[in-house]
Amino acid sequence: MILFKQLRKKRYIFLTRRSLRNNIAILSEKNKLKLNIGSGILSYQGWTDLNLPFFDLTSDKLWVYFFQGSPINNILLEHVLEHLTVDDVRHSLKLAKTYLVKNGRIRIAVPDKNHPNPEYIEYVRPNGSGPGADDHKSFWNYSDFLNLAKELGYNYELFEYYKEDGELIMNELDEKNGIVTRTARNPSKGSIEDYSSLIVDLIAP
């Protein structure tokens, strides 16, 4: 019985991946391939959702399987990268750059390490007290991402972040390149009233 369930699960994953790959190829041909990766139940019109176990950002093999010959216009990563180590983030973004069209964008939102509220830091830090923080493996501020962008050869735009002196910077955000729900633009109804994210676009040259 256990073996049968395992085989059925593998078949389900295989068939789902094949269906997703076919849809991705069609959208890419129309120059409309927008990927919403790791968002769970959050889904947006015009975006293709990719989640575990069907896609793993760190897997060279799966990037080739899905996107070889299918250039990507946009990628949305809202509160995903903090669940990876710094090395895995670097590797994943290096892979993504291979498949982005010229001026293709990766919109990234992560907890902001420069946030001045100690309660926020405790809530979102690796092994922090907030939901999911026990799985957080990295913690970022805007300087970290700008250095990484330069290292990997990306251009960039910053949209929301705290400076070292505690000043919150909020620049105009075009949602056609990705909707971010966890942001200072949407006042939180949770335990952290001044919740914000570090939001940055990495742009393929």
Amino acid 119: pLDDT: 96
67's tokens: 């996107």
Amino acid 2: pLDDT: 65
CA atoms of 124 and 140, how far apart (whole Å): 11
Percent of the residues in the chain that have a pLDDT greater than 70, as a whole number: 97
Of the candidates 96, 105, 29, which has an alpha carbon nearest to the alpha carbon of residue 64?
A: 96
CA atoms of 205 and 113, how far apart (whole Å): 27
C-alpha distance from residue 178 to each of 6, 37, 39, 99, 190 (Å): 36, 11, 12, 18, 23
CA atoms of 78 and 197, how far apart (whole Å): 9
Residues 111-131: tens digit of each pLDDT: 999 999 999 999 999 999 999
Residues 73-106: tens digit of each pLDDT: 999 999 999 999 999 999 999 999 999 999 999 9
In this prediction, residue 41 has a pLDDT band, given cuts at 50, 70 and 90, of confident
- Residue 22, class by beta-carbon neighbours within 10 Å (0-12 exposed, 13-18 middle, 19+ buried)? exposed
CA atoms of 64 and 118, how far apart (whole Å): 42
Amino acid 47: pLDDT: 97
In this prediction, residue 190 has a pLDDT band, given cuts at 50, 70 and 90, of confident
Q: Are 37 and 79 contacting, i.e. CB atoms less than 8 angstroms apart?
A: no
Amino acid 32: pLDDT: 93
Whole-model pTM?
A: 0.94
Of the candidates 173, 31, 200, which has an alpha carbon nearest to the alpha carbon of residue 102?
A: 31
Cβ within 8 Å of residue 101, ≥6 positions away: 31, 71, 72, 73, 204
Residues 128-160: tens digit of each pLDDT: 999 999 999 999 999 999 999 999 999 999 999
Of the candidates 36, 28, 33, 30, which has an alpha carbon nearest to the alpha carbon of residue 178?
A: 36
**Domains of the chain as residue ranges with CATH:** 2-203 (3.40.50)
